[in-house]
């Protein structure tokens, strides 16, 4: 970037930074109404994802999870069960989501292999969800194939911990991405009554 465009960019950012902060605050103030707005047809699903994209991942992930639960008629379960986030047709699922990052990477964090549940993983891309569904055994296999690493702590800090949370990173348009599209992009199967 040349010096003139660099300074023009900085000037633009500084002139508009308050607007960005205000929009973020406004979105945070209405986040609890966004799901209802989709179901009222006041906003589209794409608009829901676009609006919520401004939220931090810690704020938008539960919002996206609650939307998924409501959209697909799932039942939220207590975290105390230590068996995922919700159930549908008697099966337990852990919900993971990622999106709106500069690297177009699906970051799957806090994988808890000791939990007896399957996995719903969504990547939000171009304001639309791409959904992967993995059984517990498939996730364990993918953790090995994709060299899952510890999500928290150093190797020394976790060496005596039985319940280590893991993470996997899946880059869009990689070989692994297309393998996942072929193998795990099965939302229609999830919707069929089991």
Is the pTM higher than 0.85?
Answer: yes
Q: Place 136 in a pLDDT band, splitting at 50, 70 and 90.
A: very high
pLDDT confidence of residue 194: 46
Count how many Cα atoms sit within 13 Å of the Cα of residue 143 in the half-sphere of its side chain.
22
Confidence of residue 187 (pLDDT cuts 50, 70, 90): confident
pLDDT, position 107: 92
In the predicted structure, residue 131 carries a pLDDT above the cut 90: yes
Residue 79: pLDDT above 60?
yes
Rounded Cα–Cα distance for residues 99 and 129 (Å)? 9
Phi, psi for residue 85 in degrees, rounded to 5: -105, -30
Neighbours of 89 (CB within 10 A): 11
| Range of lowest pLDDT (3-7, 76-80, 136-140, 174-178) | 3-7
Q: If you average pLDDT over residues 92-105, what whole number do you get?
A: 92
For the stretch 43-58, pLDDT in tens is 999 999 999 999 999 9
164: tokens are 């280590």
């Amino acid at each position: 970037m040349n010096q003139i465009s660099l300074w023009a960019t900085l000037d633009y950012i500084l002139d508009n930074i308050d607007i960005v902060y205000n929009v973020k605050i406004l979105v945070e103030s209405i986040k609890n109404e966004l799901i209802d707005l989709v179901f009222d047809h006041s906003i589209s699903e794409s608009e829901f994802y676009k609006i919520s994209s401004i939220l931090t991942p810690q704020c938008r992930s539960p919002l996206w999870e609650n939307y998924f639960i409501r959209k697909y008629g799932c039942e939220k379960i207590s975290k105390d069960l230590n068996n995922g986030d919700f159930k549908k047709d008697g099966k337990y699922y852990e919900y993971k989501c990622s999106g709106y990052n500069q690297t177009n990477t699906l970051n799957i964090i806090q994988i808890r292999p000791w939990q007896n549940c399957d996995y719903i993983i969504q990547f939000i891309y171009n304001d639309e969800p791409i959904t992967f569904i993995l059984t517990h055994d498939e996730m364990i296999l993918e953790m090995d194939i994709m060299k899952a690493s510890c999500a928290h702590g150093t190797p020394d800090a976790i060496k005596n911990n039985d319940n280590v949370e893991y993470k996997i990173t899946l880059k869009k348009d990689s070989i692994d991405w297309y393998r996942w599209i072929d193998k795990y992009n099965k939302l229609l199967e999830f919707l069929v009554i089991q």
